[in-house]
Structure 1
Amino acid sequence: MKVQHQSHHELLPHLFRQEYAKMTAVLCRHFGLKHIEIAEDIASDTFLKASENWAINGIPENPTAWLYAVAKNKTKDYFKHVAVFETQVKEAIKPTEIEAENDVELSSQNISDSQLAMIFAVCNPTNSTEAQICLALQILCGFSVEEIASAFLTKTETIKKRLLRARANLRNDDFQIKSLSETAIKSRLDTVLKTLYLLFNEGYFSKTYRRQIRKDFCSEAIRLTLILTENPLTDTPQTNALLALMCFQGSRLEARTNDKGEAVLFDEQDRRLWDTTLIAKGNYFLVNACNNNEISKYHLEAGIAYWHTAPADQNKWQHILQLYNRLILVEYSPITALNRTFAFAKVYGHDKAITEAEKLQLTGNTYYHELLGYLYADTDLDKAIAHYEEAVRHTKSKTEKLTLIKEIARLKEKISH
């Protein structure tokens, strides 16, 4: 039986985003990170075969199972090629390991375990923290170089060089994916959390992808962070705070876009679409995160997200502004500064917020102009339109561009009347 309701051209890109990184993680347990390119080649060949086969024979009943079956067979074929084995792998792995690694286990549990093991393996002190995160985002999360550059507010060429050096260091270090000591796990946890944080953020508000929201990235980040809370070594206040943040933010995903895929501002969201189950889970993990005196950026951001989902409170925005004031001291970023200014506007009004915003001088930032467009909309339509037009020029997101153009048209119509 074949699945006919969707073309392979539509399905394959979706499956590639969801399964390529998972497949690579599992295969890397067999080849070791020194030979990560072999794992990536097999995963890539698997998807290439799918594109050729499905175009002729149609999509199989269980496309994901089909992909993993092909990957498993390709791995077996690889080990059968003695010449390739002799020249590329034999010197890198012990003879006792070869027999055990010949058969690839592709159960959902093994895939999950492999991904988590890969994150900790890639987050190796051999590389700088930035390089570790870049590598994890590319290998584990399927990020493109452009997406990583966007996450780090860095040029793509810089990221390319960083990734090349990081991969070379992993090959030279010649380590395998294996159980880590308690000390190693604890020393790498901060970098792992940062990686998962960036993975969720790219899903929550994609700056490079054609869709503004990528629910598959958000779900994956939540799933992997939840696994961390189930291990005593990684079930820390920071981990719980990050998971609380993801739950609160994830609860509003359905309300953040309309039927046309256009962004819906927070004030205009239909709260009936908010996921109350995720909000309850967010509350649970936030309580767990507060079992000692530790306050991290994840605690503060989770607190801000909590107040966004909390019932109406006349002091709501004051609470949010106070949290932003603390967050900006813990870790400054342009986005945090702009979000703080939005909260400032809610407390002190648009006129005072305009003064606060213009102090930032983030003239090359889409969200800077978008915020000023919003703040000027009630008092100076010409300035509001000018800032929205500037925001359009700076954004790479097609979805965001369409939303901004729609707002510009609305303001221009308001002027004509």
Structure 2
Amino acid sequence: MVNPNEITPHLFRTEYSKIVAVLCRSFDIKHIEIAEDIASETFLKASEYWALNGLPDNPAAWLYTVAKNKAKDYFKHLSVIEKNKQQEVKTSDHEYQMIDFDTKSITDSQLEMIFAACNPINSQETQICLALQILCGFSVEEIANAFLSKHETIKKRLQRGREALRAHHFKINSLSEQDIHKRLETVLTTLYLLFNEGYFSRTHHFLIRKDLCLEAIRLTLILTDNPFTNTPEANALLALMCFQSSRLEARTNDEGEAILFDEQDETLWDKALIEKGNYYLIEACQSNNSSVSKYHLEAGIAYWHTSSAEDKWQHILDLYNQLVIIEYSPVIGLNRTFAFSKVYGKEKAVIEAEKINLINSEYYHGLMGYLYSELNTDKAIYHYEEAIRLTKSKPEKQAIQKQIDLLRQSK
């Protein structure tokens, strides 16, 4: 028999945001707190009822029915207490009947919520926080952990972000195709950063947050399933996520310690996800009118990482050379230097890395430790120790310490 206590948290992660999205679409995002209260009460009832009576045959459908009934009860209650006043939420019986949890309604509602949460009126960090809470059902504590921030800091950021969303009365069906495409860049950026937070988490205890990666993929799939948002860039981003996710199981061991790329067990790579990545990358390159975006280039780089071709590092380096022109960042520069070392050797790569000279970055010192590992053991150990000092990630510290121990043993 399935334990309700085991399945309820999973359902909360997958269904909570769907319920909130459908309800918000019915009576405006400015009343999002009401929608969230109804969703929370639905799960509270589920946990109590299922504990006594066991799981229903279709738990998700059960949740949708309860949520719809609770919405109906809310409006009845509101009409009684505000009979002679202007109602806060104006939803007629007809509009209540329009609340539906079929597949199309859920998908359309979530698409609207993606564009609402990724509103450029808020800062990029606020958009990600809102996406984690509204679209993925994350608690304030979980978001604070993801950002290595204080609980109060995240709480205030979310409050300000929500106030901005309520003030703008966002409705995706009021936007033209041109307006949607203007916002799409912000949406893609937010989903990209959401995935990156899962792929290389900044929390103290986890290198990888698979739940974040899966949520980012799920939300990006919604974009590619809609004709207005099924753009080459969206497909390229989804391809990138698939390629990167294919290697998640090989990036850490059973103790959660990081495994360097060169030491990964390729048999653990998910071939099905690689095939999905190939499919979406081909879709991203179908249009003759689209320019090459950073997502195309990063997806190409991720593709070659899953390849066993002898010249794959030359291809990766070529793509990085294009990427630094489109959108340079220190991290991209460091990644390019790693690829450079694979093509031209570590000695020449040291010269490239020194040009970047990010002495306050753990990633810089980690790369320098790797490059010096066969050139100068003492320098390699120095840079690895600096990387340990600078990083806050426990798995990273453990992985780097292993490299130091190996170098000391070889002296």
Q: What TM-score results when the alignment is normalised by the length of structure 1?
A: 0.81
Partner of 1:101: 96
CA RMSD of the aligned region, Å? 3.6
Matching residue's letter, 1:329: I
CA distance 1:95–1:220, shift in 2 (3 Å): closer
CA distance 1:173–1:399, shift in 2 (3 Å): same
State how 1:68-217 maps to structure 2 within 5 Å: 68=64, 71-82=67-78, 86=82, 91-96=87-92, 98-101=93-96, 104-124=99-119, 126-127=121-122, 131-142=126-137, 163-176=158-171, 178=173, 180-208=175-203, 210-217=205-212
Shift of 1:34: 0.6
Whole-Å Cα distance in 2 between the matches of residues 85 and 36 of structure 1?
A: 21
Matching residue's letter, 1:342: F
Whole-Å Cα distance in 2 between the matches of residues 394 and 347 of structure 1?
A: 29
- Please say if 1:297 is aligned against 2:302: no
- Please say if 1:311 is aligned against 2:300: no
Partner of 2:261: 266
Whole-Å Cα distance in 2 between the matches of residues 258 and 58 of structure 1?
A: 39
Q: Quick check: 2:194–2:212 contact (8 Å CA) kept in 1?
A: yes
1:298-318 deviation line (CA, Å, top 9, x unaligned): 11101111211223223x222
Q: Quick check: 2:27–2:90 contact (8 Å CA) kept in 1?
A: no
Q: Quick check: 2:148–2:202 contact (8 Å CA) kept in 1?
A: no
Shift of 1:343: 0.9
Q: Which shifted more, 221-230 or 11-20?
A: 11-20
Q: Quick check: 1:27–1:104 contact (8 Å CA) kept in 2?
A: yes
Q: 1:219 aligns with which of 214, 217, 221?
A: 214
1:21-78 deviation line (CA, Å, top 9, x unaligned): 3333233223421111222333344555666777x65974676566555544543443
Number of aligned residues: 407
Partner of 1:407: 403
Q: Quick check: 1:248–1:279 contact (8 Å CA) kept in 2?
A: yes
Q: 1:275 aligns with which of 262, 270, 274?
A: 270
Q: 2:374 aligns with which of 372, 378, 384?
A: 378
Whole-Å Cα distance in 2 between the matches of residues 77 and 144 of structure 1?
A: 26
Q: Which shifted more, 112-121 or 205-214?
A: 205-214
1:171-214 deviation line (CA, Å, top 9, x unaligned): 22334564643222222111111122122222222222743223
Q: Quick check: 2:203–2:393 contact (8 Å CA) kept in 1?
A: yes
Q: Quick check: 1:33–1:177 contact (8 Å CA) kept in 2?
A: no
- Please say if 1:387 is aligned against 2:387: no
Whole-Å Cα distance in 1 between the matches of residues 62 and 91 of structure 2?
A: 31
Shift of 1:238: 1.1
Q: Quick check: 1:150–1:208 contact (8 Å CA) kept in 2?
A: yes
Whole-Å Cα distance in 2 between the matches of residues 406 and 162 of structure 1?
A: 38
Partner of 2:33: 37
* Percent of residue pairs identical: 65
Q: 1:253 aligns with which of 237, 244, 248?
A: 248
CA distance 1:322–1:232, shift in 2 (3 Å): same
1:127-180 deviation line (CA, Å, top 9, x unaligned): 466654553344213456788789899999876665433322222233456464
CA distance 1:231–1:20, shift in 2 (3 Å): closer
Q: Which shifted more, 374-383 or 138-147?
A: 138-147
Q: 2:354 aligns with which of 358, 361, 365?
A: 358
CA distance 1:384–1:333, shift in 2 (3 Å): same
Whole-Å Cα distance in 2 between the matches of residues 250 and 108 of structure 1?
A: 26
Matching residue's letter, 1:139: I
Matching residue's letter, 1:385: I
Q: Quick check: 1:32–1:177 contact (8 Å CA) kept in 2?
A: no
Q: Which runs of 5+ in 1 are unaligned?
A: none
Partner of 2:225: 230
Q: 1:242 aligns with which of 222, 237, 241?
A: 237
Q: Secondary structure at the match of 1:211?
A: coil
Whole-Å Cα distance in 2 between the matches of residues 264 and 241 of structure 1?
A: 26
Q: Quick check: 2:359–2:365 contact (8 Å CA) kept in 1?
A: yes
Q: Quick check: 1:34–1:170 contact (8 Å CA) kept in 2?
A: yes
Q: Which runs of 5+ in 2 are unaligned?
A: none
Whole-Å Cα distance in 2 between the matches of residues 313 and 280 of structure 1?
A: 20
Shift of 1:359: 3.2
Q: Quick check: 1:297–1:331 contact (8 Å CA) kept in 2?
A: yes
CA distance 1:308–1:21, shift in 2 (3 Å): same
CA distance 1:288–1:102, shift in 2 (3 Å): closer
Partner of 1:3: 2
Whole-Å Cα distance in 2 between the matches of residues 349 and 270 of structure 1?
A: 23
Matching residue's letter, 1:289: A
